[in-house]
Amino acid sequence: MKLAATWRRFLAPLALLILFGLAWGFGLHRSLSLDALAAHRAALGAEVAAHPLAAALIYVLAYTLLVALSLPGGVVMTLAGGLLFGIIWGGTLAVIGASIGAALLFLLARSAFAPLVAGRAEGFLAPLRAGLARDGFFYLLSLRLVPVFPFWLLNLAPALLGMRFAPYLAATFLGIIPGTAVFAGIGAGLDQVFASGGTPDLGVIFSPAVLLPLLGLAALSLFGVWWRRRGAHG
């Protein structure tokens, strides 16, 4: 009985690892490139025009798997969302897919991997441990808003450090909206860029016009940390 319960506990993570290996083995991550997007944009656009609902569902599913498997290519996927669905719908679908994928990875990591990985990953987790332990929601929100740490690390670290799921999901959902909107906006204008033979300027997110508002939002979330501590000590 205990053996069956243990097997069920590790079944989903094992399936995730197998999918991860297959994705890397078949080089699926290499297909998520600007060159591939430029080459297939007409065919993809035709499919979206012909089957908008199915295309939206497939896009969300693909984004979910990308994040859950911690594969690279999230920026290209968000650009593709803006290109194919427009800035509003593309950004919305990207946020939904990324949030679901991050939630799945969190739950799997917390249920099965935490005891095995936490000790071995101490070097990666150390910079985040104190902040997440003290001010989980606001601290994670500020990290999501400003791209300092890799997205996959901010999906795994809260699970391995024992953060509760609800504040994790809320901070993830809210924190990725501004950056996603920026890249979806770039994606919405990609058709003209590709048609002229140019390449998109992805460094725009680090320009003052974009980065300063993101830093302002991150500072606002950290203000929430200060206010909460002030109330606790007041």
Going by C-alpha positions, the residue among 194, 132, 129, 155 that lies closest to residue 71 is 155
pLDDT for the residue numbered 154: 85
Q: What is the model's pLDDT at position 126?
A: 66
Task: Determine, yes or no, domain membership for 3.
Answer: no
Q: Give the CA radius of gyration of the chain.
A: 19
pLDDT confidence of residue 132: 75
Domain range enclosing 164: 11-233
Return the pLDDT at 127: 65
Assigned domain for 17 exists: yes
- Residue 51 pLDDT: 94
**55, part of any domain:** yes
Which residues touch 204 (CB under 8 Å, ≥6 apart)? 182, 186, 210
Q: What is each CA distance from 101 to 49, 111, 173, in whole angstroms?
A: 26, 16, 11
Q: Is residue 179 part of a domain?
A: yes
| 121 occurs within a structural domain | yes
Residue with the two structure tokens 């890249």 = 183
* Residue 6 placed within a domain: no
Q: Is residue 2 part of a domain?
A: no
Nearest to 99 by CA among 113, 107, 146: 107
Total domains, the chain: 1
Q: Determine, yes or no, domain membership for 1.
A: no
Q: From the first residue on, what is the mean pLDDT of each consecutive set of 10 residues in the chain (234 residues)?
A: 50 55 56 80 92 95 89 87 93 96 88 58 64 77 80 84 90 90 85 71 55 60 54 50
